[in-house]
Structure 1
Amino acid sequence: MPVHDIASTALTRRALFRHSALLAGGAALASLPFGRQLLAHDVAENWPNVAAMANRYVSERKLANLLLTFGWRQEDHAHTVGGGNLSLAKPGAVDENSLYRIYSMSKPITGMATMILIDEGKLGLDQPVAEILPAFRDMRVLVDPAGDLQDTVPADRPITIRQLLTHTAGLGYQIISKGPLQAAYNEQGLVGGRVSRMPIPGFPVVTPAPGLAAWADRLAELPLMYQPATKWSYSCSIDLLGRVIEVVSGMEFEAFLKKRIFDPCGMTSTWMQVPASEAHRLTDNIGVLGGNVFPLDPAANSIYLDAPEVPAGGGGLVSSPKDYDRFLRMLLGYGRIDGKFVMSEEAVRVGVSDLIPATVDLTGSWLEGEGHGAGGRSKGATFGWGGAAGTLASVDFDLNLRSCLWTQYMPSEAYPIRDEFIAAMDADLAAMRAKKKKAA
């Protein structure tokens, strides 16, 4: 089945990193000493501006749904504000069990799966990838990242697991690369997340590589954009880690995720392919163009009802608010949930820390002044990432807070939802502080 990718319009600096505001919002939320008690009540009543923002987008039919979740410490369930329907076309309310395309929110899951193998001694954080995938032994590097594929020089150093985890291996990306390299990614079917069964005007029809092993082999034949461990550049490196996990574990990638993360975390609604029996829970993904909305990937005919040709660890998963909150809860418990260890405390601490190699110059990059861990942004006590269809997720270890934003539209920069969310939260917090001061 052809894959049509409009993510290149969504994955700009603003779309990728505006989720930092969500992390900052978590800090603001917990700054009130009575914040946790408020979450035990009807959250919408206590956060009227946040609720109004969510309700406005839904009532004006700009979106089918907008749902926010907040959870403290090891509380069993996150609390919600907002809502809406699975589709603009028909009723059916969203809730914590609704299914969303999480796209790049898949990356922290793949990153933590990698950390499990590192913790068990089956991988080394600074191990050369060529020791696992020999095709990556003698890589070439483009002289000009957008230039002729034959104009290359040898790589100065090997690609390592650390570099793959942090987008510093020098690899390209179908949604980031330019010129001949991007054309080669399309020709070789080096795709990440899927978008729609329907043709999308202005975007090439790309036939995916026939499986993850072939995907990795084809990737190894193409030059790098940059010398390894010299530059941060958003890449397909987390997808490549899926193949590394397969080889090292001896299991198919998604089977490893299920056995080592999904099952022990109690994540019963996270897949690369939505089972037919669960399709009724899937949201529509809508496109936004010139202020007009249209069905981009209707649930009833979603490409996520098909098995993926390439199981993409960087952008291929569908999940539910309840499931992803359990993943965040496990991280917030330093690997422990419901009295069981899914991964070690040390593996979590290392995975959420800044792992960018010291040789990388971040000047002028998207991550200047920031850090990056195992598949997600790392800054201070926070770790998280966002998805191309508007979803966001983070944990704050100092505040013991886990938070997510759930919706489905592309490109995610079509609406200023993330900025508006922070402004609404600030307004509600100011009102709460004023009320508390008046009552004192």
Structure 2
Amino acid sequence: MVASRTATTTTDSGRELSPSERWFWIIDRISPANCVGRVRVHGRLTTEQLERATAVVLAEYPLLRMGVVDTGDGHPRAEPLAEPRIPLRQFSCDENDAWQRHIDTEMITPIEVSAGFARLADIAYAPGASDEYHDLVLTISHIIVDGRSLMTVLRKIIEYAVRDEIEPVASRPSVAPSDDLIPVAARGFWRYVYTTMFDQAAALALRPRRLRGKVPVALPDRLTRAIYRKVPAEPLAELADDCRRAGVTVHGVLASAVARAIGAAAGSTGGIAGIGSPVDFRGLLEPQPDTDELGNYAPVLTAFVRYGAGVSPWQAARSVNRQLSRGVRQRRHLATVAGMRFGTPRTVHTGTRIVEMVDRRAPWNVSVTNLGRADFPEEIGGQRLSGVTVAATNSCVSALTVAIVTAHEEMRIAFCYVDGVLTAAQAAHFADRVIAELVSRSAA
């Protein structure tokens, strides 16, 4: 039995998209800007359970009850929908990895954001049998969420679907976008200029490697595919122990491994690779959003990672950690988001030109998006969970997103590449190099 829930309408007032939201809206008009999460539920799931769960999530989050209205004047708005819903697609399949092909479909299929920001797919295996299980694949537009927010919604859908009873869920009060929560000390035009020019100046001096294909792929033609790998419990525990002994983070080692793979893909035996790392800044915002709030709270900081025979993975990891820590201390990620009101274009036409410029001049086109440990219990309502995975499109200004999430004592990595910049075989080789780096390094 589902307990009653309350959804007020007083918080459902529309608002103009913030500059950072408008940036992703413009990108999405050029090429899909989608975030995708997947988890496997071992047990029975029905249409009624999933529709109930999406209804509760809609009741809780005002943003999910909205869609984008293109006003035509450069001020697109998020407005409440008359009949908000999260479309549910269900199908059965005999192939255990059908979810991988479905995520590829999700990443190349735009979300019609005028009608809502999310959609859900339920892939059933052996429906009706004693060993029935399901892959739930949730896709939400990057306009309104980052990877952690996506995982929050996916976890709640499962909780609301499989529990016999649900506590009353009230609609959350509307929360301002992250742009409006930047502390005053991190705002200002000149801070934004400094932050923007810092990476450009460093790139001019260091000449970092970027991932390049043999033939350029036009922005509207950039479709994201993915190759999946995982680090099981035992080697993951060994990696974490080695990182603690070396005084570095797992993220630093991940970035080091990706930098080496970029060099190998370029046929380079040594050099520097530019790596983008989204950094969660919820804790620095004023007021600080709830950990379960939806939004984009992970702007990118750049690290320039040296690789080659004379550079150990631990040296490279320490460099990554130092660069990211310095960027956080200097609040460069805050200044970047606060300054988007100075740099975000008003129209898709001018936005396309700026996206093309960013694509040409950005000091990196590979990001390492590490969500860390996801808040997914081993079991909910008597049903076991496994296979937590996150993936993302490249939003047409990058060539590869290495998306990582750790849950249930294993790390899953999606190598989300632009088809044409890499082939499937090249992406698989790239992924295998990174995994080999992670599981075969020796502490120094």
TM-score (normalizing by structure 1): 0.28
RCO comparison, higher one (Cα < 8 Å, 6+): 1
TM-score (normalizing by structure 2): 0.28
Which structure has the highest strand share of the two? 2
